[in-house]
Each structure stands twice: as C-alpha cells, then as structure tokens.
Amino acid sequence: MLSLPRKMAGMEEQVKLLVALQDLDLMIKEANDADTSSEMKQMGFKFDGIAELSKARENLSKRIRPQLLNRYERLAKSYGRAVVPVTGNLCLGCFVTLPTSYPSLKSKDSFLTCQNCGRILYFP
C-alpha cells in the first residue's frame, strides 16, 4: 500500500509525487538494464515484477496535474533527471547557486525551477 496522498494534492505534494515518479522511473530503467539486472540476479534477487512497476507508474501519473506531468516528461527527455534536490542553495542538477530568497518563494500554488537549467527543484 502506498503512503503518498491519494487526492490531487497542493503543489508541494505534487512535487513530492514527481520525486516518487522519478524514483520509480529510475527503478524501471535499472530493472530493464541488462548489466544491472544480471548483477542483481547473480546476487539472488528476483526481478519478475516489471509489469507491477509499470502499473504503479500509471497509477502515480494519474495523481499528477497533466501540465506538470508534461513538463516532467519534457525535462526528463532532455536531462534524464527532471527533478533535482537543492542543498545549501545549490541546484544539484547544474550546480548553480540559487538566490537565498528562493525557498521563501515557494507557495501552495506554484513550484520552483532552477533559473539556470529549468529543472524542477525539490527541497529535501
């Protein structure tokens, strides 16, 4: 059972859903990667539930606003990672320092993007 909110959530929750989606996309990518999956299988792990992950991705996508999801998909295509964490005012996507006032600009109706690379910012 997943623990993230079921309803179409406020923007901060929407960004969290994007982080969950990106984690899931990475898991699917690694499960489909021949080298990684072979290494995991050699360790003794089963990798037979890729269909389950695809279903989970579909369900998660439905809870994200279409406009935000489109933006995520576009950025993921360009950069690989569409959402990046911010640590010490640094965008960990392009390593540009963000203005110190940036976190305070977050509101329940908007999300923040890096002014240099355009990636969606996540504040852990």
Partner 1 sequence: MRTMMKPHELAEFFHESLCIFDLKAVDKHTALQEMVNCVGDRLRFKDRDLLLDMLVNRESLGSTAIGKGVAFPHGRSLAIQELIVLFARSVEGIDFDALDSKPTHLFFLIIAPPQDRDNLYLQVLGHLVELIKTPALRKRLMEVNTFGELRDALASA
Closest separation between CB of residue 98 and partner 1, Å?
A: 16
Question: Helix, strand, coil: what percent of the chain each, to 5?
Answer: 50, 10, 40
Question: How far out from the chain centre does Cα 89 lie?
Answer: 19
d(CA 67, CA 48): 33
Sole binder of partner 1 in the list 3, 100, 101, 104 (CB under 8 A): 3
Residue 87 β-bridge partners: 90
Closest separation between CB of residue 18 and partner 1, Å?
A: 9
Contacts with partner 1, 57-96, as mask; x by CB under 8 A: ------------------------x-xxx-x---------
For helices 34-43 and 11-32, angle between their N-to-C axes, nearest 10 degrees: 80
Stretch that binds partner 1, among 50-58, 65-73, 100-108, 111-119 (CB under 8 A): 50-58
AA identity, residue 123: F
Number of residues interacting with partner 1: please give it, by CB under 8 A: 34
Sole binder of partner 1 in the list 8, 10, 26, 70 (CB under 8 A): 26
